Amino acid sequence: MFCRDDHFNDPDQRYCQICGISMAQLTQVSRLGPRPPLGVLLLDDGRTLRLDTDYVVGRDPDTDEDVTAQRARPMRITGPASGVSRRHVRVRLDGWHVAVVDLNSANGTLLHRPGTAGPEQLTPGVPAVITPGTRIDLGPRWFRYESHRNT
């Protein structure tokens, strides 16, 4: 949805993420437009990846059929990755939401959601929608989803 000043926004936002104007000042008529990146993935080794497409995460994500078909990018976990599967987890963009799916990894995936007391174990194959600030643990390695969006 576009604000009065023609900035493209998530349709669920109450205020424009660019200029801050209330989205209630519109007639609520939606127009299609290109979705901007939904944030970044910050890896424990300092790398930052722009979240504008799906990612397959693991020691050897290039073997995933979605990576070879260019429907997802590989996020290779290198170095001391004991406990990280070849294809461990998928980060999936679903509209304006970010979800993670454990790809039947050998050691599982934990989510640390902001404001919760403890980690949540992902059920393999079941997508879990995450919010900015969520940390995803893959054995001893991790990455975090961050965004300027306040959803």
Confidence check: pLDDT of 108 > 70: yes
Structural domains of the chain, count: 2
Q: Is the pTM of this model over 0.75?
A: yes
pLDDT tens for 111-142 read 999 999 899 999 999 999 999 999 999 988 99
Residues 15 and 79 in one domain: no
Establish if 117 belongs to a structural domain: yes
Confidence check: pLDDT of 37 > 50: yes
pLDDT of residue 2: 76
Residues 54 and 95 in one domain: yes
CA distance 1 to 32: 7
Domain that holds residue 82: 40-146
Residues 15 and 86 in one domain: no
Establish if 47 belongs to a structural domain: yes
Residues 108 and 50 in one domain: yes
At 76, which CATH number? 2.60.200.20
pLDDT grade, residue 6 (50/70/90)? confident
Confidence check: pLDDT of 18 > 50: yes
Residues 44 and 62 in one domain: yes
Residues 70 and 18 in one domain: no
pLDDT grade, residue 12 (50/70/90)? confident
pLDDT grade, residue 151 (50/70/90)? very low
Establish if 151 belongs to a structural domain: no
Residues 48 and 92 in one domain: yes
Residues 65 and 20 in one domain: no
By percentage, how much of the chain surpasses pLDDT 90? 64
